Amino acid sequence: YCAPHMQYRPGDIEEKWQQKWADARVAETGVTASGNKFYMLNMFPYPSGDLHVGHGRNYILGDALYRYLRMQGRAALNPMGWDAFGLPAENAAIKRGIHPREWTLSNIAREKKQFERWGIIYDWSKEIASCHPGYYRWNQWLFLQLYRRGLAYRGKAPVNWCPQDQTVLANEQVIDGRCERCGAEVVQRDLEQWFFKITDYADRLDAGLDALEHWPDKVKTMQRNWIGRSAGADIDFPIPVLGRSIRIFTTRPDTIFGATFLVLAPEHPDVAKLISDHPDRAAIEKWIAEVRNQSNLERQETGKEGRFTGKYAINPFTKEEIPIWLGNFVLMQYGTGAIMSVPAHDQRDFEFAKQYGLAVRIVIAMNETPPGWPLSMVEAFTAKDDSARIVDSGLITGLTPPAAIERIGDEVERLGIGNKTVRYRLRDWLISRQRYWGTPIPMLYCDRCGLVPVPEEELPVELPVDVPFTGREGNPLAKHEAFVNAKCPKCGGAARRETDTMDTFVDSSWYYARYLSPRDTTRIFDSKLANAWLPVDQYIGGIEHAILHLLYARFICRALHDLGLVDVEEPFTRLFNQGMITKEGYRDPAQGNSWVPLGEVEWRAGKPYRGGLELVPETGKMSKSRFNVVPPDELIARYGADTQRVYTLFIAPPEKEAPWSEEGVVGAYRFLVRVWNMGIQIRDGATSGGAPPAPAAVLRKMHQAIDGVTRRFERFEFNTAISSLMEFSNLLGDHLEHAGGLREAYLVLLKLLHPFAPHMTEEMWEMFGEKPFVLTSKWPVADPALMQEDVVTIVVQVNGKLRGQIEVPNPPAEDVVMAAVQKNEKVQSWVAGKTVVKTIYVPGKLVNVVVR
């Protein structure tokens, strides 16, 4: 029984502590002193305005880590900002008539408040918002530097175009081939756009992945696949009718003697000439047009199709005439848009050859293959190592494939008919957006001088505020006369301003460096500070950025490095991807599987119904359209932010997807209540005198908890860290008759619990008469000697059967163990003349002596 004022009431204490932390600016880090530095960073959010409990996970996780690091005495930096440009703001403007700026700023205010309400402390003195001219000005500056170096250029490319909205769409805005907003079918269009030349960095971005020891393999693999490095050779195949050659790319030049035909992409520039005198020219052209209209996906669904051009090429090594085909499976965007086909050793070529009855010639055999070659094509198919040999291939016969690849490459270069090359799947980064709410690209079009960059001293090119948002006629910027009309800085004549804005991924590709000198008006960032604090030691964010943001950021970091602005090439040393929090929603099959609002679900015998029909539960991402969003307000009002924090981290390993459960929350709350009530008793026990010392079991558990929680922080195992604190607290609860003697152990519990439940621990810490801000007190250190049990049980097993056991002091020396065996009558008699197979010493556990 507790007096009312002693009850755990999160509502009474949480806002008080949040205010104190804010007033004392506890999270502000002096960036000038970077010794013992630890730069941790959560990916900055897009301020959409609705943070639900699922969003809380990675911020809570980051805050717990930050508080732990501070208690460890690290100079930890933990800033936060806003990825504030983007489409949703503009859509809100169109739908609701709110200016994107107002919409964004009010969302930022709301989300900032929400972070505070979760007890998350950031260094707000370093806050940045990408929509602020003081920030995007440096986007423009960066653009100009890249432009100067040829890394930003204007060129033609196929893009997603919505004919109704008259604008280019981001990939995320295309759903099942349709415009997300108006539902019109999106078409591919060749348009002049601005690009960043990320392909220049393909090799460095690929090679750099190997050094990222602390990145999840999954992300590295995804980036590797995306970059798609392939080493091989470009080789010219002479075409007598054209009087010149067609260049192909292959990763397997060692198979060139097996190349029995060429296949060109239907879009290949030489196709028109090749079929110009073909008797069925019209039919082939019709087919080409059909294929061109198909997306890659559609082409694959069609299956492999081709047409014979009626013309032949010369295989430069066999000197044979080989037919030239067109194939829907050859992509113009990759390599040279032409391939040599080796049907014996490539699955796709094999399928094509089989379908059209083309020649198959085997040129690889397995090493161990007995006489009587050839072996089956399947076995030799992918053989690229020393277990295989090249056969029937002139100068390379008998070589292993790797050796043959080298040899052919050399030969091709010697003959001047090609080169060894490395090709990448990666394409240049299209950064143009025909949108208002983004960084204006600082370029001008002058009738006399052509493309002219805006001089650096004229930056920022500010976004005008007074533009109309109709959502119908493309980029509002283009209609803003005062913005568009400018003077050419070269000739002083009339010029038009570029009205495209930048992809918002440009904003996020260097923001981590800006946090270090966020208000600097003279440069993009302070290189001295950047070199002291970069790279980011721990980066936390969702897996959805595995490629886009993380690849762009790695690219821009290298570009900044090459500009001499920063020493590092890799911006993020450690990467952690938290899993999503999911929630059950209910679909109504009778209504075309539409989602049912939670309020309309009736429960009968534990099953969900609506209107007498059973609903289908489905667990997934929280979203408004599924009516399964859990807002944090009610939860916090009822149980407190500490409860949400503890529950969120306890629910599952943080990298895993985890289902939100209303019942589960209660467990976390009860845990905090118990710790609280126990604290009151222990404090009162201490002041009433007569404090017996804590039992050895409590001290042992305490050291085990310190050790366990510390180790688990290092490994991001927050769920088990919390469970070990529950064990520790349960044991304290079992010894409350010693209340007064538990003070030291209890204060340790508060410290270990602080990163998870900061408000409650601060309050209790203060109730114990300690100075405020557990944050600045020292993280306890475990004494390994005190972690061990006093005695261990030696279990003697014979052939897996228990034959006896005995307790000995811990740790037992090996001769003690042997003596224990000797003392055991049963074993002794049985053991005579036999040998001890193995002894295992497990600290604090059992010792099994197994004899045979």
Partner RNA sequence: GCGAAAGUGGCGGAAUUGGCAGACGCGCUGGACUUAGGAUCCAGUGGCCCAAAGCCGUGCGGGUUCGAGUCCCGCCUUUCGCACCA
177 is a site residue for RNA (CB under 7 A): no
Are the C-beta atoms of residues 774 and 758 closer than 8 Å to each other? yes
845 is a site residue for RNA (CB under 7 A): yes
Q: Kindly tell me which of 331 and 563 has the beta carbon lying closer to RNA.
A: 331
Q: Which of 94, 98, 222, 818 binds RNA (CB under 7 A)?
A: 222
34 is a site residue for RNA (CB under 7 A): no
673 is a site residue for RNA (CB under 7 A): yes
174 is a site residue for RNA (CB under 7 A): no
842 is a site residue for RNA (CB under 7 A): yes
Burial grade of 191 (CB within 10 A; 0-12, 13-18, 19 or more):
middle
Calpha distance 187→162 (Å, rounded): 7
How many residues sit in the footprint of RNA (CB under 7 A)? Answer: 76
In 3D space, the residue among 191, 730, 721 whose CA is nearest the CA of residue 434 turns out to be 191
Cα→Cα distances 177→172, 181, 852, Å: 11, 12, 70
Q: Which of 20, 621, 711, 823 binds RNA (CB under 7 A)?
A: 711
Q: Kindly tell me which of 514 and 701 has the beta carbon lying closer to RNA.
A: 701
Q: Which of 339, 388, 477, 636 binds RNA (CB under 7 A)?
A: 339
Q: Which of 328, 499, 643, 644 binds RNA (CB under 7 A)?
A: 328
Q: Kindly tell me which of 365 and 731 has the beta carbon lying closer to RNA.
A: 731
Backbone phi, psi, residue 666, to 5°:
-60, -35
36 is a site residue for RNA (CB under 7 A): no
Q: Which of 36, 188, 300, 470 binds RNA (CB under 7 A)?
A: 300
In 3D space, the residue among 758, 788, 792, 791 whose CA is nearest the CA of residue 775 turns out to be 758
Q: Which stretch binds RNA (CB under 7 A): 167-175, 751-759, 765-773, 841-849?
A: 841-849
Cα→Cα distances 540→58, 113, 239, 536, Å: 7, 21, 55, 10
Q: Which of 10, 45, 316, 337 binds RNA (CB under 7 A)?
A: 337
425 is a site residue for RNA (CB under 7 A): yes
Q: Kindly tell me which of 832 and 837 has the beta carbon lying closer to RNA.
A: 837
578 is a site residue for RNA (CB under 7 A): no
Are the C-beta atoms of residues 591 and 552 closer than 8 Å to each other? no
57 is a site residue for RNA (CB under 7 A): no
Calculate the dihedral angle through the C-alpha atoms of 405, 411, 417, 423, rounding to the nearest 10 degrees. Answer: 30
Q: Which of 68, 118, 249, 555 binds RNA (CB under 7 A)?
A: 249
Q: Kindly tell me which of 496 and 700 has the beta carbon lying closer to RNA.
A: 700
Contacts of RNA in 519-548 (CB under 7 A): 547
Q: Kindly tell me which of 610 and 621 has the beta carbon lying closer to RNA.
A: 621
Q: Which of 25, 286, 523, 656 binds RNA (CB under 7 A)?
A: 656
Contacts of RNA in 255-274 (CB under 7 A): 265
Q: Which of 727, 744, 766, 770 binds RNA (CB under 7 A)?
A: 727
The minimum distance between CB 830 and RNA, in angstroms, equals 14
Q: What share of the chain is helix, strand, coil (3-state, %, to 5)?
A: 40, 20, 35
| CA triple 224-227-229, angle to 5 deg | 85
Q: Kindly tell me which of 560 and 787 has the beta carbon lying closer to RNA.
A: 787
Pairing state between β 306-314 and 321-327: antiparallel
331 is a site residue for RNA (CB under 7 A): yes
Q: Which of 293, 333, 485, 687 binds RNA (CB under 7 A)?
A: 333
Are the C-beta atoms of residues 54 and 660 closer than 8 Å to each other? yes
The minimum distance between CB 718 and RNA, in angstroms, equals 10
611 is a site residue for RNA (CB under 7 A): no
Cα separation of the two ends of the chain: 59
Token pair of 728 as six digits: 């520790």
215 is a site residue for RNA (CB under 7 A): no
329 is a site residue for RNA (CB under 7 A): yes
The minimum distance between CB 405 and RNA, in angstroms, equals 11
Q: Which of 124, 287, 308, 334 binds RNA (CB under 7 A)?
A: 334
In 3D space, the residue among 718, 751, 723 whose CA is nearest the CA of residue 648 turns out to be 718
380 is a site residue for RNA (CB under 7 A): no
DSSP state letter for 392: S
Backbone phi, psi, residue 295, to 5°:
-80, 170
720 is a site residue for RNA (CB under 7 A): yes
Cα→Cα distances 745→406, 478, 673, 844, Å: 68, 68, 18, 20
435 is a site residue for RNA (CB under 7 A): no
The 10 Å Cβ neighbour count of residue 150 is: 9
The minimum distance between CB 345 and RNA, in angstroms, equals 9
Q: Which of 653, 695, 772, 811 binds RNA (CB under 7 A)?
A: 653
224 is a site residue for RNA (CB under 7 A): no
In 3D space, the residue among 123, 126, 128 whose CA is nearest the CA of residue 24 turns out to be 123
348 is a site residue for RNA (CB under 7 A): yes
Are the C-beta atoms of residues 91 and 181 closer than 8 Å to each other? yes
Are the C-beta atoms of residues 654 and 61 closer than 8 Å to each other? yes
The helix (run of H) or strand (run of E) holding residue 811 is none
Cα→Cα distances 584→151, 483, 621, 849, Å: 47, 49, 9, 50
Q: Kindly tell me which of 67 and 304 has the beta carbon lying closer to RNA.
A: 304
Q: Which of 358, 596, 658, 821 binds RNA (CB under 7 A)?
A: 658
Q: Which stretch binds RNA (CB under 7 A): 10-18, 34-42, 327-335, 549-557?
A: 327-335
Q: Which of 72, 160, 199, 230 binds RNA (CB under 7 A)?
A: 230
Instruction: Report the number of secondary-structure helices (H) and strands (E) in the chain.
Output: 28, 38
Q: Kindly tell me which of 269 and 450 has the beta carbon lying closer to RNA.
A: 269
Residue 95: partners with Cβ closer than 8 Å, 6 or more residues away: none
Q: Which of 588, 717, 762, 763 binds RNA (CB under 7 A)?
A: 717
The minimum distance between CB 703 and RNA, in angstroms, equals 11
Contacts of RNA in 732-751 (CB under 7 A): 733
The minimum distance between CB 705 and RNA, in angstroms, equals 12
722 is a site residue for RNA (CB under 7 A): yes
The minimum distance between CB 620 and RNA, in angstroms, equals 9
| CA triple 305-335-412, angle to 5 deg | 110
836 is a site residue for RNA (CB under 7 A): no
723 is a site residue for RNA (CB under 7 A): yes
Q: Kindly tell me which of 143 and 669 has the beta carbon lying closer to RNA.
A: 669
Q: Kindly tell me which of 89 and 820 has the beta carbon lying closer to RNA.
A: 820
Backbone phi, psi, residue 93, to 5°:
-65, -45
Contacts of RNA in 470-529 (CB under 7 A): none
Contacts of RNA in 782-821 (CB under 7 A): 797, 799-800
In 3D space, the residue among 585, 663, 581, 580 whose CA is nearest the CA of residue 627 turns out to be 585
Calpha distance 848→835 (Å, rounded): 14
Interior/surface letters 393-405, b for 16+ CB within 10 angstroms, e for the rest: beebeebbbeebb
